[in-house]
Amino acid sequence: FLRVLIWLINILAIMGNVTVLFVLLTSRYKMTVPRFLMCNLSFADFCMGFYLLLIASVDSQTKGQYYNHAIDWQTGSGCSAAGFFTVFSSELSVYTLTVITLERWHTITYALQLDQKLRLRHAILIMLGGWLFSTLIATLPLVGVSNYMKVSICLPMDVETTLSQVYILTILILNVVAFTIICACYIKIYFAVQNPELMANNKDTKIAKKMAVLIFTDFTCMAPISFFAISAAFKVPLITVTNSKVLLVLFYPVNSCANPFLYAIFTKAFQRDFFLLLSKFGCCKRRVELYRRKDFVAYTSNCKNGFTGSNKPSQSTLKLSPLQCQYTTVPDKTC
């Protein structure tokens, strides 16, 4: 069951994130802050898929004979590389998810204040900090702070020294803080886009459901791992190493598998970019024509509102779904 599951998860994670990266980087629309953040998230989750591919490949090669290869694998460069990829991926993914959520909250909260808008150069600096932090966290086990040799799935599960315990607890606490920030921001976003004059309508219900799915996947990924890892860090393990492998294969990569679909592939903006890309190869031309017409109508509507109407955005303009507006751009004038 685990062998089938790990192959399924790593294929979904690799294919989903490669698709998102390829479509966003080849899109004819300019690189915006949300697009840039999505590229970072996709790369982080791709690294997790690559880690799972390494583990699955070694497992298939040593099937039924792992005891003959355990020392060579766990003390070798392959396990160290796999461990580095998974910790780097996990921390960069959590960091980027937090930044994406904060950016959405900031955009909706300060929609009327254009001078408060997050610029691409700011996002680049913020993500540079995330890359440096994730690289540092993933490198520490290679220089003696915990290590990747304790278990066959190459995670830093060595807590023999006080420094190693502090290292593990720091990672777990930071992840819990990040999850708390994500939950708080999505709750604030939900109340920000609600219409106070009406009871919960269809749009509010859809937004609430989407946010609930995002929070649920984050919770599913972080909560079980954090709970059992904190107990293990205090040398009071509540499950065996064998059961922890099941837990890690089932829950640890959930975000990497789900993120490309929840944050990109299932959104209308990404689907538009995807079909525009396919049109370059002569496919889906009728669908693309519909998108171009919608872009033209939206553009002309914006022009009328900008030049003939009030400069203040309408209430309906502010009530944007955070999933729908994650990388919305003004169409080219040539449309």
Residues sharing a CB contact under 8 Å with residue 142, sequence separation 6 or more, in sequence order: 80, 84, 148
Any idea what the CATH number is for the domain that residue 14 is in?
1.20.1070.10
**Is 81 contained in some domain?**
yes
The predicted structure's pLDDT at residue 204: 53
Number of CB atoms found within 10 A of residue 283's CB: 11
Give ∠ CA 18-24-26 in degrees, rounded to 5. 100
**Is 308 contained in some domain?**
no
Residues sharing a CB contact under 8 Å with residue 87, sequence separation 6 or more, in sequence order: 134, 137, 138, 141, 155, 156, 171
**Is 318 contained in some domain?**
no
User: How does pLDDT run across 202-226, given as a tens digit for each residue?
Assistant: 555 566 567 667 777 777 777 777 7
Cα–Cα distance for residue pair 115/112, rounded to 1 Å? 9
Cα–Cα distance for residue pair 207/305, rounded to 1 Å? 26
The predicted structure's pLDDT at residue 47: 92
The predicted structure's pLDDT at residue 205: 58
**Is 98 contained in some domain?**
yes
- pTM value? 0.79
The predicted structure's pLDDT at residue 322: 40
**Is 201 contained in some domain?**
yes
Low-confidence ranges of the chain (pLDDT < 70): 111-112, 114, 194-209, 211-212, 237-239, 241, 291, 295-299, 301-335
Strand, helix or coil for residue 196: coil
**Is 203 contained in some domain?**
yes
Number of domains in the chain: 1
Cβ atoms 178, 171 nearer than 8 A: no
Question: Which DSSP string do the residues of 260-322 spell out, in sequence order?
Answer: HIIIIITSHHHHHHHHHHHHTTT--HHHHHHHHHHHHHHHHHHHHHHHTS-SSPPHHHH---T
**Is 327 contained in some domain?**
no
Q: b/e per residue, 175-187, with b = 16+ CB within 10 A?
A: beebbebbbebbe
How many residues in the chain?
A: 335
The predicted structure's pLDDT at residue 140: 93
User: How does pLDDT run across 40-52, given as a tens digit for each residue?
Assistant: 999 999 999 999 9
Place of tokens 């580095």: 84
Cα–Cα distance for residue pair 230/220, rounded to 1 Å? 16
Place of tokens 């022009």: 303
What is the span of the domain harbouring residue 102? Answer: 1-64+71-269
**Is 274 contained in some domain?**
no
Cα–Cα distance for residue pair 326/335, rounded to 1 Å? 21
Strand, helix or coil for residue 236: coil
